[in-house]
Chain A
Amino acid sequence: MTTLKKGFGVFILWVLMTVVCPAQTIKGIVTDSLGKAVPFAGVNLKTNNLIVGYTTTNEKGNFLLPVPAGTNQTGLTLEISCIGFKKASKPVADFSKPYDFKLTASVNALKTVTIRDNSKIRTSGDTISYKVAEFTQPQDRTIGDVIKKLPGMDVDKNGKISYNGKAISNLYIGGDNLLDDRYNIATRTIPNGVVDEVQVMENHQPVKMLKNKVNSDDVALNLTIKKDAKMQLVGQETVGAGLPGNYDAELNAMLFKDQYKAINYLKGNNTGYDLQSDVISHNLADYLSRVDNDKPSTVLSMGTAGDPDLPRNRYLLNRSGVLNLNNLYKPRPDVQLRANLSYLTDNQRQVYSKLSEVYLPNDTIRYTENQYNKARPDILHAQLYANYNKDKYYLNNSFAADYSHGMYYSSLVSNNVPVNQVFKDNLVDIANQFNLMQTFRHNNIIELYSYLNRTSEPENRVIDPGFNPAVFNNGVPYALLTQNVNIPSWFTNNYVKLTLPKTLVTQSYKVGFSLQSQRLQSALTTTQLNNQLNQVGDSALNNLNWSRRKLYAEAGYDIPGNVLKVTASLPVNLMQIAYNDAYYQLNKSLTRLYFNPRLSVKYQTGAEDYLTAIYSLRNDIGGIQDVYNGSILKNYRTLYANNADLTERKTQNANLGYSYRKAISLFFFSVNAGYTHQAANNITSSVLTNNLQQRIVLPFNNQTDAWDVSGAISKYHFKLRTTFAAGASYQTARLNQIQNGIILPYTTISTSFVASADTKVSAQVNFNYKANFSLVTSKSDLVPTESRFQRLIQQAALNYTPSANFLIGVSADHYYTRQQQAGDLKYIFADASLRYKINKLRTDIELSAKNLFNMQNYSAVYLSANVFTSSTYSIPGRIILAKVMFNI
């Protein structure tokens, strides 16, 4: 009886349950055009084109589809698919009404999929994986060649990689951090054949204990290594020789074991391949601004001509060599010990002539210069790194030492006066970063951080014989003009941080201090004909002491939601700056309290698309190089001095972005818009004379505004086996210039478009094309003329593989420049190569020709609103090179 009662109770409850909370189901019937039931048709419930629930119809064509719990009820569609019928779909709004479908028959409902091509891309949460083999083309040698072609990926001319418009933070190899952000070492060395997948990790949080607690909008790449390549030594040995007198050699050895990873190489060439770019630290500027380390920059230079606006390998006249050793050892899976060591030596030549004209309202000032420059840098970089990354414990120590020794020589003809310059530049930079995190009670995390940096860079430049005696030696002939500068500097930044993760919000509180102590010493001296040393004037001497002390407290909030991620940081800084130079009776100090908030919001509008919004306010103060009173001859015709107070800048920045991807169909799209407003309390002004350009800083309420909008789109077309990409950007900036006492507000607008296609025409032929168009206009209301600068760069390459071991490649780039008041400039460069593979010997033989049309000079003309410059550079002519490449 009791059981019966109980049973009855359960029954009642069950009835009630069904009444009170009806299971959410969608029902309907599927018939053909004649009204006949279609049995066993697939019924799929989709959101964002992904199936979330499914069923099939019964014999009578009826279906009853339970909606899975937790399904987002907006944006649902119901799709019927059945062999022999066309697909049908309806949006779902209301679960109570029936969804009936009438299918139309289709003879060939199924597209014939006869592809045996396995182009693969995989997504899993925040990770997208590209199968390298599927994107590889016969001409590719290193993984960098393949990454360039991946849809959604962009590689700039320095090798910096961006994914859907965002620069990557790091490139991991087999999950390990071998190189930090100096990843050109990997992309230019690792053979594409050893890499299985390139993985893109969005929202990458490298610290294990912070995962899902503290937001990260970093994007990192990981290269997964093929099993067989993990076992053994990998390497490619190349020797090449060519005409006229060219060589190119590379010996490398790599290991990708789970416990031990290494990329070690020796490279040398005089064919224009810039080895310095191998060791570029791509995120250095970001890193230094995060650490708040404002390092002094090099003060002196040799001349005024920069590099031509061509790819570096087109104009570089070099003799470079580099030894690069990167070794990582993992005694345990969560412990990494690493040493990176590189030594680079180079001997570069630069030959150019330049004409500059500056148009002033009632005058035109003209400079001409011809230079023959030689640069001999020796650069040594050493880094030691230890990292413990455990679930509850994190320790990271990174020690870096940089030494560079540079010797620069120049023979110069300036306004028809010949002089020689010798410039010595020695930099020592030592830094240590220590970071410790420990999880304790209630999952709270305590962090200790310490950063210490010492730099010193004595610079010495001598100009002879007696240059411009009217300015530097009261019109008396003299022997040498010597400028010395050094800014030895100490910087330290230390903090303690407490992180309190809760389910919804992670709070963090940080207190710390930083100290910067610098001294700027400089002297401009003349050596008279009798070897007597004299100071130039009474205001070309500096002995400036500088200190910046900062005390800060910061509250941070992270909402690490799946749909909404919010990060807010609210730092309050108390800053005290003091500087003095007894010679100029300069003794100033100022104290400021700054609030520099930053808010970033990321809203996931769908599984693969999101909106981001960022606002930041930043107050900062100039550095030691903004306050020295004594003149420094920065280059042979620019005297630089300050006579104003420190620059105080207040920068507001707002950014809005939308990123969309549909990885499954290899479609990527992003748009960004930004606005920056900066208010500063001074302005740089120039005083121009025929032989000298003097810059001084004046107090001025200087407001600048800049807007920018950009978008990029990239898509792989499966049928055409082509990656299409396009991008556009628009920037406008309003800023002020003062020249010879006149304030000129300028509006500069730059627009650029880029489009590219990379296609596999057949198994034997592939082709790529890229066009880049930019237009810069600059205009001031006070100056009647407007300047317009247009440039179109086109690049194309065709590769043909008639048989598995033979490859023919041709490529060309075309540069077209147009601006009014100057003739059009057109340059075309062409390259060709033949490669033959001897499989038995694991050897490739390559014959290549660079700059087939033998262009030996390159001219660049630039006209801004009131400055016209025309530069002509000597560039390497045709190079024919034969190479033998052996694979270990």
Chain B
Amino acid sequence: MRTNLIILIVLTLAGLQARAQKADTAKAIAHYKFSWVRDTTQRSNPYTENMILLMGRNASVYKSYDRKQQEAMMRKQVEEQVAQIANGASNTIQLKSNGKGVTRNELFLYPAAKKMIRNERLINYYLVEEELPVQQWNITADTMSVGDLHCQKATTHFKGRNYTAWFCPDLPFHTGPWKLNGLPGLIVEAYDDRNEVVFKFDGMEDPALLKKPEPGSDPGSFSIGGTSVRLSGQDGGNNDPRIIEPPVSGIKATPKEFDNLKEAMRKDPRAFAQSAMAASGTGRVVTGVPMPAMKMNVQSAPQSTINNPMELPEEK
């Protein structure tokens, strides 16, 4: 009963959708290869993921690049299968992900405003605003060059781990992968002293070369034969991939509220999903022509064990 109440409270917040922050435009994009020893019994087989960091004048967002690719693939699958349904060849949409878990949340950092917004997805987008994580960096005289980027080394202790970061003063973005930020230049590489959490630089991309979607189109939706399909959970925030802004549809939540919500989902996932879907109004087919009833059946790979969180409790 109590869980339902919480869900209700949180969901009503949906009405308070508001722009969290003035939008910023990406001036540079960095790619990282992220690896994390989640399971210390399997050190040689860490979790890996390709990540991307978009940097603007005042804001940056760090998110999964693999997820972007997966979503594009999913969209293609749905497009094909919806087309088959339209032809009457099938009445089920069977989606297969590539068997790899991806990071679902996005981290928006606003160093000047000293805040961080986590865009969490639990069916809906929840925008969890927190204080900007701060690291006390120690700058050293060690240097490295990555391509023609000249980097300097800095070290810090953050969330139970000793990190080494290589930052590039020629790229004056005071941000970096994940929650690492605050150095006088982009952090292009970072790792902890046990090599369990590693952000490895994988190149830069020029945002000017990013494809701008056609005006009015929505990457989270498409239409087939007059049928417009909107997929829930897709990166449907903004049309322009260069804009650094949490999704407009995001629901503001405090960290506590969001934790409660997560707890609620863990305890009663069915009820949670139902009410959430109802509240968001997504995940449904808006029909132009009569369509047979469709069942959504989403499969994803089982999560591996995590016995070594990224953020470790501080030893006292």
CB within 8 Å of B: which residues of A? 39-40, 42-44, 50-54, 56, 81-84, 110-125, 607, 663-666, 718-719
What are 6 A-B contacts defined by CB distance under 8 Å? A42-B184, A83-B173, A114-B209, A121-B144, A122-B143, A124-B153
Q: Which residues of B contact A54 (CB under 8 A)?
A: 139, 183-184
CB-defined contacts of B201 to chain A, threshold 8 Å: 118
Q: Are B28 and A121 in contact (CB under 8 A)?
A: no
Q: Which of A82, A84, A664 contacts B145 (CB 8 A)?
A: A664
A51 lies within 8 A of B148 (CB) = no
B284 within 8 A of A: no
Task: Verify A83–B145 contact, CB threshold 8 A.
Answer: no
Minimum CB–CB distance for B92 against chain A, Å: 41
- Given the complex of chains A and B, what is the CA–CA distance between A56 and B171 in angstroms? 14
- Chain B residues with Cβ below 8 Å from A123 are 142-144
| Complex contact A51–B152 (CB within 8 A) | yes
C-alpha spacing A234/B148, complex, angstroms: 33
Indicate which residue in A50, A53, A82 contacts B141 across the interface (CB closer than 8 Å): A50
C-alpha gap A125/B56 in the complex (Å): 34
3 cross-chain pairs, A with B, having the tightest CB-CB distances, nearest first = A718-B148, A116-B203, A81-B172
- Contact assessment for A115 and B169 in the assembled complex, using a CB-CB cutoff below 8 Å: no
A113→B148 contact, CB < 8 A: yes
User: What residues of chain B have their CB less than 8 Å away from a CB belonging to chain A?
Assistant: 27-28, 56-58, 111-112, 139, 141-153, 169-174, 183-185, 201-206, 208-209
- Complex alpha-carbon distance, A656 and B142, angstroms: 27
Contact assessment for B144 and A44 in the assembled complex, using a CB-CB cutoff below 8 Å:
no
Tell me if B145 and A121 are in contact (CB < 8 A).
yes
CB-nearest residue of chain B to A111: B170
Nearest chain B CB to A468's CB is how many angstroms away? 67
- Name the A residues within 8 Å of B141 (CB-CB): 50, 607
Asked whether A664 lies within 8 Å of B112 as measured between CB atoms, the reply is no
Q: Given A44-B169, A50-B152, A115 and B57 touching (CB < 8 A)?
A: no
- Verify B174–A56 contact, CB threshold 8 A: yes
For A44, the chain B residues whose CB sits under 8 A away are 169, 184
Distance between B32 CB and nearest chain A CB, rounded to angstroms: 13
B144 with A122: CB separation less than 8 A: yes
For residue A110, which residues in chain B have a CB less than 8 angstroms away from its CB?
A: 27-28, 171
Residues of chain B contacted by A113 (CB below 8 angstroms): 28, 147-149, 171, 204, 206
In whole angstroms, what is the CA distance A111 to B204 when docked? Answer: 11
**Which A residue's beta carbon lies closest to that of B168?**
A113
Give every chain B residue within 8 A of A111 (Cβ-Cβ): 170
Q: Count contacts between A and B, CB distance < 8 Å.
A: 103
Chain A minimum-CB-distance residue to B110: A40
Q: Are A124 and B184 in contact (CB under 8 A)?
A: no
**Set of chain A residues within 8 Å of B146, measured between Cβ atoms:** 118-120
Q: Does A718 contact B142, Cβ atoms closer than 8 Å? A: no
Residues from chain B with Cβ under 8 Å of A114 in the complex: 203-206, 209
Q: In the complex, what distance in Å separates the CA atom of A719 from the CA atom of B147?
A: 10
Q: Closest residue to A717 on the B side, CB-wise?
A: B148
- Output the least CB separation between A350 and chain B (Å): 49
Measured CB to CB, the closest approach of chain B to A41, in angstroms, equals 8
Q: Which residue of A lies closest to B144 (CB)?
A: A122
Chain A residues, Cβ within 8 Å of B202? 116
A607: chain B residues within 8 A (beta carbon): 141
Q: How far is the CA of A667 from the CA of B205 in the complex (A)?
A: 27
For A43, what are the chain B residues with a Cβ–Cβ distance below 8 Å? Answer: 184
Q: Is the CB of A51 within 8 A of B169?
A: yes
Give Cα distance in the complex from A487 to B139, angstroms. 62
Given contacts A83-B57, A112-B206, contact A50 B143 (CB under 8 A): yes
A40 surroundings in chain B (CB, below 8 A): 58, 111-112, 174
Q: Shortest Cβ distance from B43 into chain A, in angstroms?
A: 12
- In the complex, the answer to whether B144 meets A664 with C-beta atoms within 8 Å is yes
Contact between chains at B144 and A120 (CB < 8 Å) = yes
Say whether A84 contacts B144, CB under 8 Å.
no
State which of B144, B151, B174 has its C-beta within 8 Å of the C-beta of A42: B174
Known contacts A83-B57, A113-B28, A114-B204: A51-B184 contact under CB 8 Å: yes
Please give me the residue from chain A that is nearest to B139 by CB atom: A51
Residue among A50, A52, A118, A124 making CB contact with B147, cutoff 8 Å: A118
> In the complex, which residues of chain B have a beta carbon less than 8 angstroms from the beta carbon of A121?
144-145
- Contacts known (A81-B169, A122-B143, A122-B144); A115 close to B58, Cβ less than 8 A: no
Bound Cα distance from A694 to B205, whole angstroms: 76
Is the beta-carbon distance between B145 and A39 smaller than 8 angstroms?
no
Q: Are A83 and B172 in contact (CB under 8 A)?
A: yes
Residues in A with CB closer than 8 Å to B149 are 113
Contacts of B143 in A (CB 8 A): 50, 122-123, 663-664
In the bound assembly, the distance between CA atoms of A50 and B139 in angstroms comes to: 10
Closest to B137 in A: A54
Residue of B nearest to A607 (CB): B141
> What B residues does A83 contact at CB under 8 A?
27, 56-57, 172-173
B174: chain A residues within 8 A (beta carbon): 40, 42, 56
When chains A and B are docked, how far (Å) is the Cα of A190 from the Cα of B13? 65
Determine the chain B residues whose CB is within 8 A of the CB of A51 once the complex forms. Answer: 139, 152, 169, 184-185
Please, which residues of chain A bring their CB within 8 A of the CB of B111? 40, 56
Shortest CB–CB separation between residue A224 and chain B, in angstroms? 15
Q: Which residue of A52, A53, A124 is within 8 Å of B142 (Cβ)?
A: A124
**14 extra interface residue pairs, beta carbon distance < 8 Å, beyond A81-B184, A664-B150:** A54-B139, A56-B111, A56-B174, A82-B172, A113-B147, A116-B147, A119-B146, A120-B146, A122-B144, A607-B141, A664-B143, A664-B145, A664-B151, A719-B148
Task: Please give the distance in Å from A228's CB to the nearest CB on chain B.
Answer: 11
Closest to B184 in A: A54
**Docked CA distance A40–B169 (Å):** 15
> Is A119 a contact of B145 with CB atoms below 8 Å?
yes
B195 shortest CB reach to chain A, Å: 12
Complex CA distance for A56 and B112, rounded to whole angstroms: 9
CB distance from A577 to the nearest CB of B (A): 53
Q: Which residues of B contact A52 (CB under 8 A)?
A: 139
Q: How far is the CA of A125 from the CA of B27 in the complex (A)?
A: 34
B203 and A115 contact, CB distance less than 8 A: yes
Residues of B within 8 A of A124 (CB): 142, 153
Q: In the complex the two chains form, what is the Cα distance from A166 to B237 in whole Å?
A: 59
Instruction: Please name all residues of chain A whose beta carbon is closer than 8 Å to the beta carbon of B169 when the two chains form the complex.
Output: 44, 51, 81
A51 to B169, CA, bound (A): 8
Residues of A within 8 A of B171 (CB): 110, 113
The distance from the CB of B297 to the nearest CB of chain A, in whole angstroms, is 38
